[in-house]
Structure 1
Amino acid sequence: MPSQLPPQFSSSASDKACRKAIRSQIREARRSLTTEQQDSFAMTAADYTLSRLKQLKAQRVALYLTNDGELDTKPLIEALWQSKIEVYLPRLHPFSPGNLLFFRYQADTKMQKNHMSIWEPKLNITQMLLPHQIDVVITPLVAFDLQGNRMGMGGGFYDRTLANWQHKRKPLPIGYAHDCQQVGSLPCEHWDVPLPFIITPSHCHSFEL
């Protein structure tokens, strides 16, 4: 397992070029989905995910608010609330660049946009949990392969958050993506955290790690 220290991020020029090409291709593919497809896929994926979370007896689930054509999480959030499962959202750590904090998300939670124009909960320490206090983290991703490898946007936020999940056994990471985000294989580095599950509108992929 990785050390307790947050992973550092660097890469060769060829790997960076490959990752950039994959990100561009897959982001364009998911943006091309129609509104009707997005709505249908989001509902189906939410059903798959809620079923899996109930099997896992998860009571605290962190996820993300959809941005840039990602698989819409709103139906899943609504389903979690209806099932009395606590929902948490990430926000950028104000004092530790590259890291995330997680805050309880409810219908009346006060929100604000960060410097990347992504909505996140306002800083309220009474609503914060540490990652190991969360049962499951539903992770966004740009691309994935059938070895459980995940490619994010390149900031390393979730790789840092999940670097020691297998050691602590929490939080369990589950990838969430459109089927069109699957690729044959991904270039991987030592800091990349593979996922035990990736859920798409058509399938729940399970990987032995």
Structure 2
Amino acid sequence: MSMKSKADLRAAALAARDALSGEQRAAAAEAIATRGLPFALEPGAVVAGYSPIRNEIDPAPLMKKLAAEGARLALPTVTARGQSLVFRAWSPSDRLLLGPLGILEPSPAAAEVVPDVMLVPLAAFDRLGHRIGYGAGHYDISFAHLRKIKTIAGMGLAFAVQEIKAIPAMSHDVPLDYVLTERRVFDFRSS
């Protein structure tokens, strides 16, 4: 029984994600927003989202709901490969700029913040909280760096079809605390 490589697992999970219809995607994002977070946020807590690319589940409905409940929002900006993401304050009315990787980012003038909750895109996840990203390691590096400053809840957002049996975890991979799908909440903190 050969272990599938991360690249194979990533490709299979992304194919499953890409097969979803626009209606299924929108319904899944709304279902996650309707359920909300699995814990109460402190007033003024910073929730970092992401600008969805490549058919990622859209965190915007959840982010808007959390903002209405008093959260402060942030989005990541990419500095350089191998460096932590920098999170900047953002509100839904702010214009976004195209960043170096072709991903929409807040203005460089927006205040830098350290998130309390980091919503994380992913290609695949398993029931131990391991995720497969896209290989650049931005989130693993960011968690390692920012968790020296404060406790940050890492929360993957995914479609249920992106769950896979087991991911070959590397020592530098940082497991997620939660994964939210349209069907359920996975809580990995006790495991």
TM-score where L is the length of structure 2: 0.88
| Alignment of 1:104 onto 2:89 | yes
- Deviations along 1:117-173, one digit per CA (max 9) or x if unpaired, are 11111211x5111x3xx2111111111000111111110000011126666552211
1:164-203 to 2 correspondences below 5 Å: 169-203=150-184
Q: Do the aligned partners of 1:165 and 1:172 also contact (CA within 8 Å) in 2? A: no
Aligned CA-pair RMSD: 2.2
User: In the alignment, what sits opposite 1:7?
Assistant: none
The code of the aligned residue for 2:141 comes to: R
1:56-67 to 2 correspondences below 5 Å: 56-57=41-42, 59-67=45-53
Higher helix share: 1
Q: Do the aligned partners of 1:98 and 1:155 also contact (CA within 8 Å) in 2? A: no
CA distance in 1, matches of 2:181, 2:162: 9
The code of the aligned residue for 2:129 comes to: G
User: In the alignment, what sits opposite 2:103?
Assistant: 118
Q: Do the aligned partners of 2:83 and 2:142 also contact (CA within 8 Å) in 1? A: no
Question: How many correspondences in the alignment?
Answer: 188
| Alignment of 1:47 onto 2:28 | no
TM-score where L is the length of structure 1: 0.81
Identity %: 27
Q: Give the C-alpha shift of residue 25 in structure 1.
A: 1.1
**Aligned structure 1 segments of 4 or more residues deviating by more than 4 angstroms:** 164-169
Unaligned runs of 5+ in 1: 1-13
- Cα distance 1:80–1:201, how it changes in 2: closer, same or farther (>3 A)? same
Q: Do the aligned partners of 1:60 and 1:135 also contact (CA within 8 Å) in 2? A: yes
CA distance in 2, matches of 1:165, 1:47: 29
